[in-house]
């Protein structure tokens, strides 16, 4: 779950709250279609690029900054169409467009040998980037709780819930059009994680905070983004990833079984899998100290 109770594909740790300072002005760069992409840059050292999930923002990564900044230059964006920034261009925030934005970010700041961490939608963006641009600018990658194909079919049961097919996705997209915030909350609640379902049904302060934040967003670009994410299939990309990959999955993920995590591990030639038992789609937030150690150990020289 995003630290302020905000879902991302969607995240669901509604009881995880962090006190964030008032928002400071963000840096930005201009993508090659003229869109302004907002980001925060802090720390020094080798570049560490952090990609958040659907409906979330750069603030998801605030709990990790002190530890990561001690070793890395940390770059956190608000992905196109996210973070409450109105779009300036007609380009929808498709996963292909966000992958190109990532390439534009690397170009703008002259980054090489970057480590890229992707949670949920961020992992899909990373896989699309690897498909479109290769791994030449990257040294290592970190994937947090994601399937290479969200929708299931007769031959693929490792997507959302294990049984979220095109028909269910069509219904979900109709619900997004009708009541965006509630549809997002329900997607998180009615999956594998019984605690998430109970929290939603209790309708406590955490759920209401998430609901109000989601209601403040412009749903149109986020619905367009979901259509792109749910149409993607990166299974063949996994087999071509040449750089080391750290995989962090929730043992009680709302969306995916441990079989999904094992499929991703077995498909990437040089992958290390950590399953954080008992936690949901945001294992890095539930087990913050462990995640920090795992990432810093994974990216450390030698």
pLDDT per position as a tens digit, 55-66? 999 999 999 999
Q: Per-residue pLDDT for 232 more than 80?
A: yes
Query: By CB neighbour count within 10 A (0-12 exposed, 13-18 middle, 19+ buried), where does 139 fall?
Result: middle
What's the confidence (pLDDT) of residue 188?
A: 96
Distance CA 13, CA 42 (A): 26
- Considering only CA atoms, which of 24, 100, 105, 14 is closest in space to residue 65? 24
Beta strands per DSSP E along 24-147: 27-30, 36-43, 46-51, 72-78, 114-119, 138-144
Q: Which residues, other chains included, contact 121 with Cβ-Cβ below 8 Å and sequence gap of 6+?
A: 8, 9, 51, 52, 53, 54, 79, 95, 225, 229
Predicted confidence (pLDDT) per residue in 189-203, tens digit: 999 999 999 999 999
With residue 122 as reference, give the H or E element that holds it: helix 121-133
Mean model confidence pLDDT for the chain: 92
Number of other residues whose CB lies within 10 A of the CB of residue 152: 20
The pLDDT, as a whole number, for residue 26 is 74
> Between the CA of residue 189 and those of 161, 184, 209, what are the distances in Å?
11, 9, 15
12 falls in which pLDDT band (50, 70, 90)? very low
- C-alpha–C-alpha distance, residues 220 and 93, integer Å: 10
Q: How far apart are CA 141 and CA 179, in angstroms?
A: 35
> Do the Cβ atoms of 157 and 163 come closer than 8 Å?
yes
pLDDT confidence bin for 25, thresholds 50/70/90: low
Is 86 or 24 the better-scoring residue by pLDDT?
Answer: 86
* Confidence (pLDDT) at 301: 79
In eight-state DSSP terms, residue 281 is S
68 three-class SS: helix
Could you give the C-alpha distances from 146 to 32, 53, 164, 242, 258, in angstroms and in order? 28, 10, 14, 19, 11
Q: pLDDT > 70: what percent of the chain?
A: 91
Closest listed residue to residue 117, CA positions, set 97, 144, 78? 144
DSSP 151: S
Q: Are 47 and 113 in contact (CB under 8 A)?
A: yes
Q: Is the pLDDT of residue 17 over 90?
A: no
Model confidence pLDDT, tens digit, residues 105-141: 999 999 999 999 999 999 999 999 999 999 999 999 9
pLDDT in tens, 70-81: 999 999 999 999
Q: Which long-range contacts (CB under 8 A, 24 or more apart) does 227-233 make?
A: 227/173, 228/92, 228/93, 228/94, 228/95, 228/96, 229/9, 229/54, 229/95, 229/121, 229/124, 229/150, 230/150, 230/151, 230/169, 231/151, 232/95, 232/124, 232/127, 232/128, 232/149, 232/150, 233/148, 233/149
Of 16-20, 98-102, 153-157, the one with minimum mean pLDDT is: 16-20
Decide: 280 and 193 in contact? Cβ < 8 Å: yes
pLDDT value, residue 260? 98
State the DSSP code for 115. Answer: E
14: pLDDT confidence band, cut at 50, 70 and 90?
very low
- How does DSSP classify residue 156? B
C-alpha to C-alpha distances, 233 to 11, 268, 275, 295, nearest whole angstrom = 21, 15, 23, 26
pTM of the full structure: 0.92
């Amino acid at each position: 779950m995003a630290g302020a109770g905000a879902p991302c594909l969607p995240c669901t740790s509604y009881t995880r709250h962090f006190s964030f300072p008032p928002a400071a002005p963000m840096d930005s760069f201009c993508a090659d279609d003229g869109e302004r992409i907002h980001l925060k840059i802090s720390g020094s050292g080798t570049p560490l690029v952090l990609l958040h999930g659907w409906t979330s923002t750069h603030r998801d990564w605030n709990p990790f900054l002190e530890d990561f900044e001690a070793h890395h230059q940390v770059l956190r964006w608000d992905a196109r169409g996210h973070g409450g920034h109105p779009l300036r261009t007609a380009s929808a925030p498709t996963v292909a467009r966000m992958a190109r934005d990532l390439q534009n970010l690397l170009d703008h700041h002259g980054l090489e040998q970057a480590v890229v961490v992707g949670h949920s939608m961020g992992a899909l963006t990373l896989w699309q980037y690897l498909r479109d641009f290769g791994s030449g600018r990257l040294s290592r990658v970190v994937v947090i709780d994601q399937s290479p194909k969200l929708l299931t079919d007769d031959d693929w049961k490792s997507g959302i819930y294990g049984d979220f097919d095109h028909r269910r996705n069509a219904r979900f997209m109709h619900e997004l059009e009708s009541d965006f915030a509630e549809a997002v909350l329900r997607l998180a609640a009615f999956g594998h994680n019984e605690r998430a379902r109970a929290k939603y049904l209790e309708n406590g302060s955490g759920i209401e905070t998430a609901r109000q934040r989601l209601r403040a967003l412009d749903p149109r670009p986020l619905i367009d983004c979901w259509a792109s994410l749910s149409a993607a299939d990166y299974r063949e990309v996994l087999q071509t990833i040449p750089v080391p990959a750290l995989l962090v999955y929730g043992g009680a993920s709302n969306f995916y079984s441990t079989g999904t995590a094992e499929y991703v591990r077995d498909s990437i030639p040089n992958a290390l899998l950590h399953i954080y038992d008992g936690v949901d789609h945001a294992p890095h937030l539930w087990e913050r100290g462990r995640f920090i150690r795992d990432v810093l150990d994974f990216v450390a020289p030698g």
